[in-house]
Amino acid sequence: DTGVSQDPRHKITKRGQNVTFRCDPISEHNRLYWYRQTLGQGPEFLTYFQNEAQLEKSRLLSDRFSAERPKGSFSTLEIQRTEQGDSAMYLCASSPFLTFFKSSGNTIYFGEGSWLTVV
């Protein structure tokens, strides 16, 4: 399977614990995105990387959240001191980055998501 892979698919944690999610994008996709989705809502943008550089961060990404993509391949999203409000599905997506003039054609490809339940 050459799609976007996320691990773990499900995580239950106690409030105050740290959790880390991993995302392996489609190979040769140099853009990688993290979104958060709660029940009945659409995906909310959190952050994205172009290669190893984190180019944009949403204000939703509080200082308890940190994302890395150290070698420009896989990425991790860590949530420190989890709160019940962090319960959501965390979606990773990737896309190729075309030139500016061709970027209008970019499609992003999603993984199956990582469900987080904070109890």
Q: Where do contacts with another protein occur on this chain (CB under 8 A)?
A: 4, 33, 35, 40-45, 48, 56, 89, 91, 93, 103-113, 115
Q: Which is nearer to another protein, 5 or 80 (CB)?
A: 5
* CB distance 60 to 44 below 8 Å: yes
Six token digits for residue 57: 């961060």
CB of 72 to another protein, least distance (A): 17
Q: Which is nearer to another protein, 17 or 103 (CB)?
A: 103
CB of 12 to another protein, least distance (A): 15
Identify the burial level of 32 via C-beta atoms within 10 angstroms of its C-beta, where 0-12 means exposed, 13-18 middle and 19 or more buried: buried
CB of 80 to another protein, least distance (A): 25
**How far is it, in rounded angstroms, from Cα 29 to Cα 12?**
30
